[in-house]
Amino acid sequence: MRVLFLTPRLPFPPNRGGEITVFNFLRVLSRRHELSLVSFYDRPEELAYRGDLERYCRHVEMVPRPTKLAPAVLARTLFGRRSYAVERHASGRFAAAVREMVARATPDVVQIETFLMGQYLDELRPLPTVLDMHNVTWLLWDRSVAVAKPWVRMPLAIQAARLRRDEVAVCRAVDVCAPVSDADRRELHRVAGPSIRSVVVTPGVDCDLFQPVVHGDTGPEILFVGSMNYPPNIDAAEYFCRDILPRVAAVIPGVRLSIVGANPTPSMLGLAGERVVVTGFVPDVRPYYERAAVVVVPLRVGGGIRMKILEGLALGAPMVSTSVGAEGLGLSDGRELLLADEPQRFADAVVRLIGDRGLRQRLSQQARDAAVRRFSWEAVGATLTDLYQSLVPPVAAAREPRVQHRA
């Protein structure tokens, strides 16, 4: 089968949640299908990644994404009705590239990554289309509004309303929506309507790459991992340092927190202090996992599936997470990790885990078992293949790729 992907960000290198997901889709699906890709990119140096993507895709087209403060983007956002995120991805060059790719690659089915690519559906008709949702964006924004400072709540609420309208319209326009969890699927149908066709496609984790870490004599070390310019991670880090870490320190005075992730904002760098280290980008995060007694995921904002949870499971990391952080994965409190939502309960869970080596070992083993048993990328690829086959004629579904790409 011939599958075309449209992506708002280049899916290489696979070092962020969305890019990890799309890269692994390409890697696994290329074993059975002929893939093509049209993607935005942000920096000229990213053009060097074409060869990495051509390992999996027969055709690759890359288009520069409009800059954040492009006057045309700001003007359309100010005077139009669409959200800033959609306007940021509006490009005549991209539309032309999509039309040319459809003519050249003759795809049987198209997968668009997030609703931001929905504005190019007119270039794709009458091809069957799958919307990979990554998250229900309006839910993420609604949660952001709920925890926002009062002076930014109104502009956030306006953008949240626009995003909801934009995303719902795309969900109704595609042939199939692919939310990442049953929870997201329920929210999708609650807001966009029960008649929308949907299939849950939960991202996976590479359990061969993420082998269990070997813990030494662990001290009172806490680890938080994530892209540190991503607003939900910024809120989580600030929340943990402000409301949770002091409660832990009152019981364990020597406790230390490492915040590990690329592109820390000034507010993130400002969290560094006696108990907190902000590393910025590190080439290998595994040494930090080895030293950590506890990995924390104190997210209050977000949607979809957190790749940091999946990677933590595969690494066998003892974790404490909020319900939002672990949402959609069907994990059990006290089995694969500890769950806590209130600051004192979260702090108590961290203290308990630091002090109980046996509990850490048990959670570690059960976390790894869950990753291997339930979240392999091969299973994800099979789910997508079944979905594609349900959308295309049998002749196209049985078509062998002209070139077989392998990882």
Three-state SS letters, 246-301: HHHHHHCCCCEEEEECCCCCHHHHCCCCCCEEEEECCCCCHHHHHHCCEEEECCCC
Could you report the per-residue pLDDT of 165-178, keeping only the tens digit for each? 999 999 999 999 99
Whether residue 405 has pLDDT greater than 80: no
Position 52: which residue type? D
Query: DSSP of 35-81, one letter per residue?
Result: EEEEEEESSGGGGGGHHHHHTTEEEEEEEEPPPTT-HHHHHHHHHSS
Q: Are 39 and 64 spatial neighbours (Cβ–Cβ below 8 Å)?
A: no
- Token pair listed for 331: 């994990």
Q: Band of the pLDDT at 305, cuts 50, 70, 90?
A: low
Whether residue 394 has pLDDT greater than 80: no
Q: Write down the pLDDT at residue 363.
A: 95
Task: Kindly report the average pLDDT of the chain as a whole number.
Answer: 90
Residue range 327-337: mean pLDDT, rounded: 89
Better-scored residue on pLDDT, 161 or 359: 359
Q: Band of the pLDDT at 375, cuts 50, 70, 90?
A: confident
What percentage of the chain reaches a pLDDT higher than 90? 65
Could you report the per-residue pLDDT of 36-78, keeping only the tens digit for each? 999 999 999 999 999 999 999 999 999 999 998 889 989 988 8
Q: How far is residue 12's CA from residue 14's CA, in Å, rounded to a whole number?
A: 5
Q: Are strands 221-225 and 338-339 parallel, antiparallel or unpaired?
A: unpaired
The helix/strand/coil state of 319 is strand
- pTM (two decimals): 0.79
Q: Write down the pLDDT at residue 217.
A: 65
* Residue-wise burial string across 33-53, b where 16 or more C-beta atoms lie within 10 A, e elsewhere: bbbbbbbbbeeeebeebbebb
Q: Which CATH number fits domain 221-374: 3.30.390.10, 3.40.605.10, 3.40.50.2000, 3.90.180.10?
A: 3.40.50.2000
Q: Do domains 2-204+376-396 and 221-374 have the same CATH topology?
A: yes
**2-204+376-396 CATH fold:** Rossmann fold (3.40.50)
At residue 113, φ and ψ (nearest 5 deg) are -95, 105
Could you report the per-residue pLDDT of 345-367, keeping only the tens digit for each? 999 999 999 999 999 999 999 99
Better-scored residue on pLDDT, 159 or 403: 159
**Block residue for tokens 């990979």:** 132
- Token pair listed for 308: 């940091």
Q: Band of the pLDDT at 238, cuts 50, 70, 90?
A: very high
Position 361: which residue type? Q
Angle value at C-alpha 81, between 78 and 83, nearest 5 degrees: 75
Residue range 145-154: mean pLDDT, rounded: 76
Q: How far is residue 3's CA from residue 33's CA, in Å, rounded to a whole number?
A: 7
The helix/strand/coil state of 169 is helix
Q: Band of the pLDDT at 144, cuts 50, 70, 90?
A: confident
Q: Are strands 176-178 and 129-132 parallel, antiparallel or unpaired?
A: parallel
Q: Are strands 319-321 and 129-132 parallel, antiparallel or unpaired?
A: unpaired
Q: Are 263 and 281 spatial neighbours (Cβ–Cβ below 8 Å)?
A: yes
> Which of 142-146, 196-200, 317-321, 366-370 is predicted with the least confidence, judged by mean pLDDT?
142-146
> Which of 154-168, 241-255, 307-321, 341-355 is predicted with the least confidence, judged by mean pLDDT?
154-168
Cα atoms in the 13 Å half-sphere on the side-chain side of 211: 3
Q: Band of the pLDDT at 156, cuts 50, 70, 90?
A: confident
Q: How far is residue 367's CA from residue 309's CA, in Å, rounded to a whole number?
A: 10
For the chain, what are the domain ranges? 2-204+376-396, 221-374
Q: How far is residue 326's CA from residue 323's CA, in Å, rounded to a whole number?
A: 5
